[in-house]
Structure 1
Amino acid sequence: MSHASHVHDQAPPVRVAIVPDSFKGSARAVDVAAAMARGVHDAFAAAGVEVLVHTLPFADGGEGTLDALLGAWGADALTVDTTDALGRPVRARYGLSPDGRTGVVEAAEANGLPLVSDVPLRPLTATTRGIGPLVTALLDAGAEEILLCIGGSATTDGGAGLLSALGARLLARDGSELPDGGGSLTDLHRLDTTGLDPRARSVRWRIACDVTNPLLGETGAAAVFGPQKGAAPDDVRLLDAGLRRLVDVLAELTGDDVRDRAGMGAAGGLPAPLTALLGAEVLPGSRMVAEVLDAERLMADADLVLTGEGRFDGQSLGGKVVDAVRRLAPAGRPVVVIAGDVSVTSEELRRSGVTAAFSTARGPRSLERMREDVLADVEWTTANCCRLLAHHFASPDVTRGPRP
């Protein structure tokens, strides 16, 4: 979305790139970007400086990635009937790029923890089977690439349910099919892929992953993430043993042993079979989103880059949206963070490459009230920041970005 505020034509317009994350639990990235754009226009218009704004809602591959990509594409979410991690009916969203070539799935739409928060967690039987109809819908639509965002899962089944939904058969020694869930994987004898949807092999898979944990052991899927999904110590040992058996069978079948590969322990081991069987590429979510949106090119001529998120802290600088934006921003251009909570130290900010960070908090208020007012606060804070910057850019001595 690009538009200019025409105030005078003595100088070329200031080019502002707005590249925010969502404010988790409060506002979508597309709405945050729109609020920031309003603040930019108000501030620069008041200073008599022409501005050209480009908004690019962003995400790090976790919650909100589907909405960010749909917002950038100008596309609506599609839906399909599927099941949650406990096998209960649910209607889940997915996305398709305007050219029909790239599909995006947030796995948590089918196997996410929030969907099963109303009942006691079932770590041994929770399944990724519900992701299957989302993938199949994209294959039916002719997608050539599937972007799979895997955060927030309730499952530790090593992607076994998804494989089953796509036509593979996980067989016990007696030839019977295993029941759903990671708790049954210790009985896996053979993986029959003759019925696997051939389109799943031909499509390009990219998996957004923000952890580096391996599949097995004390830093693996079951030990680190299993307790968050309801696994007691005995459950953790059983799930880890099941994932070990699964990766052994995958290695025998494909010749690719992924057990020690970084990121295979994410989302209960979901990347492991997709990598070994289907050649999936696992990469940081913010990098994947940046590539899909061609963010570096779109930001290349920016004079000013604005980004934001709900909480800006030390973790923001380690692979999250703010980290990606500061790396993609043109050298020498100011990068400003607008966030609900700014918790970085002065030294962290100095080392980060971020020019400045501003909190949207305006006096004591309840968290509920802050969530209600988040977009108004984002607009107000952005406008205040840009009132100062507008006078800076009004100077004829300020160097602007390259022009096409």
Structure 2
Amino acid sequence: MKLLFVSDSFKGSLTSLQTVHLLTKAACEVFDQPDCSGVAVADGGEGTTDAVISATGGEKIYVKVKGPLFEEETVYYGKLPGNRAVLEMAAASGLPLLPERKRNPLNTTSYGTGQMIQDALDHGFSDISIAIGGSATNDGGIGAMIALGARFLDEQGNVLKGIGRDLAHISAIDLSNLDARLKKTKITIMSDVTNPLCGPNGATYTFGGQKGGTPEILSVLEQGMQNYRNIIRKDFGIDPDELEGGGAAGGLGTALRVFLNGEMKSGIDTVLDLIGFDERLKEVDFVVTGEGRTDWQSCFGKVLQGIGERCLKYGIPVVALSGSLGKGAEQVFEHGVCSIMTTVNAPMSLKEAMNNAEQLYYSSAVRMFRFIRTGMVLGEQSSVKETSIS
């Protein structure tokens, strides 16, 4: 019997690879010499680079970049087989890099993300996947583009720095010095955000508040974003408000699509492609996945949905082991997941569950595999009865 374990991390308690180890240990306790394998996975958000490096045998490449306020940061991205690279925008331009008192999207930049892309080009990568969740920025991606050679000019022809407040002052966009290697580079944008660049559902008003934007700041940023949008419309013949996901990462989604011809893809689907998930499914009898909490959001580009749909395509059953269930968790059954079990075994606080996560996970895995073994026995008995009757 061949089993494949592909679970998301349980944030704050268990890594994806820890779940693989615990599931393997539990399966060996219940089944007779099972063929177990596992792989780290993420949905395109935090931990994506580490998961893909682990799954593909890649390596980390370290680089010094400018953080959201132009402070120096040492970050890394992933070198993968096949001349591919994977990076997380949040590593260089993410909200966790800033203390709350310094969060102001008028002042933050995505410049460091552009430096990461530049370094990947310098290393010869021609296939770059970029996870763009968790940004501290609302600069329309102009900071990243400046790092790659673009220039954004005001009415007097002055070159702008590449921060949120600069959007209102853009008068012209000059791509003549944009790194020429980008024309031959495949850019994949990992995001499940579908928001447009501007408007009530756009980058500023949907995500700006969590980045430190007050109502006054958001009003200034939205006016700037509209100016940026209008120039793109005029000079490039593209309307960012019609680009699904153009508002992702404070508008970086627009910059990557318009200026670098990037392709927007589901985070989990991109990760599964990068780790060769479909190939790993060959001859697998069933798959175990899971996450810290399963609810209605699990059907919007998360690990359970992605794993379930891939396995459904090949007729492979999937069961999920999750920390807890919330409203709408049963919706994952429509996406190929056959059943869900939880790790908690009694009423307890979240703190208690997280402090005892490893033991709770292991014991629930044993219970889950015992149920599966019981189902297998029933199936064998039913087959024997049918043979006897015939």
Q: 2:233 & 2:60 partners in 1: Cα distance?
A: 37
Structure 1's 367 and 355: CA in aligned 2 closer, same or farther, altered over 3 A? same
How far residue 363 of structure 1 moved from its aligned partner, in angstroms, is 3.4
Structure 1's 98 and 268: CA in aligned 2 closer, same or farther, altered over 3 A? same
Q: 1:295 & 1:263 partners in 2: Cα distance?
A: 25
CA-based RMSD of the aligned residues comes to: 2.1
**Does residue 16 in structure 1 map to residue 8 in structure 2?**
no
The letter of the residue matching 1:21 is: D
Select the structure that is richer in helix. Answer: 2
Match of 2:67 in 1: 84
Contact 1:43 1:383 (8 Å CA) reproduced? yes
Match of 2:386 in 1: none
The letter of the residue matching 1:264 is: G
- The secondary structure found in structure 2 opposite 1:130 is helix
- The secondary structure found in structure 1 opposite 2:208 is helix
Q: 1:62 & 1:263 partners in 2: Cα distance?
A: 15
Q: 1:332 & 1:126 partners in 2: Cα distance?
A: 47
Q: 2:301 & 2:260 partners in 1: Cα distance?
A: 26
**Does residue 283 in structure 1 map to residue 265 in structure 2?**
yes
Match of 2:387 in 1: none
Q: 1:157 & 1:86 partners in 2: Cα distance?
A: 12
**Does residue 234 in structure 1 map to residue 234 in structure 2?**
no
Contact 1:257 1:276 (8 Å CA) reproduced? no
Selected match of 1:343 from 317, 321, 326? 326
Q: 1:349 & 1:257 partners in 2: Cα distance?
A: 35
Selected match of 1:165 from 147, 172, 181? 147
- The secondary structure found in structure 1 opposite 2:152 is strand
Q: 2:254 & 2:94 partners in 1: Cα distance?
A: 18
Aligned length: 381
TM-score, normalisation: structure 2: 0.91
Contact 1:205 1:278 (8 Å CA) reproduced? yes
More displaced stretch, 107-116 vs 76-85: 76-85
| Displaced runs of 4 or more, over 6 A | none
**Does residue 317 in structure 1 map to residue 302 in structure 2?**
no
Contact 1:212 1:266 (8 Å CA) reproduced? yes
Q: 1:24 & 1:69 partners in 2: Cα distance?
A: 17
Structure 1 residue ranges without an equivalent (≥5): 1-13, 400-404
- The secondary structure found in structure 2 opposite 1:355 is strand
How far residue 26 of structure 1 moved from its aligned partner, in angstroms, is 2.4
Q: 1:372 & 1:199 partners in 2: Cα distance?
A: 48
Selected match of 1:71 from 46, 50, 54? 54
Selected match of 1:38 from 21, 25, 44? 25
Contact 1:335 1:355 (8 Å CA) reproduced? yes
Selected match of 1:263 from 245, 261, 264? 245
**Does residue 215 in structure 1 map to residue 197 in structure 2?**
yes
Selected match of 2:369 from 381, 386, 389? 386
Contact 1:158 1:270 (8 Å CA) reproduced? yes
**Does residue 154 in structure 1 map to residue 154 in structure 2?**
no
TM-score, normalisation: structure 1: 0.88
Deviations 1:329-382 (A, max 9, x none): 145543111111122568546545422211112435554443343233322221
Selected match of 2:309 from 327, 332, 336? 327
How far residue 19 of structure 1 moved from its aligned partner, in angstroms, is 1.2
How far residue 153 of structure 1 moved from its aligned partner, in angstroms, is 0.7
Contact 1:106 1:148 (8 Å CA) reproduced? yes
Contact 1:186 1:245 (8 Å CA) reproduced? yes
- The secondary structure found in structure 2 opposite 1:272 is helix
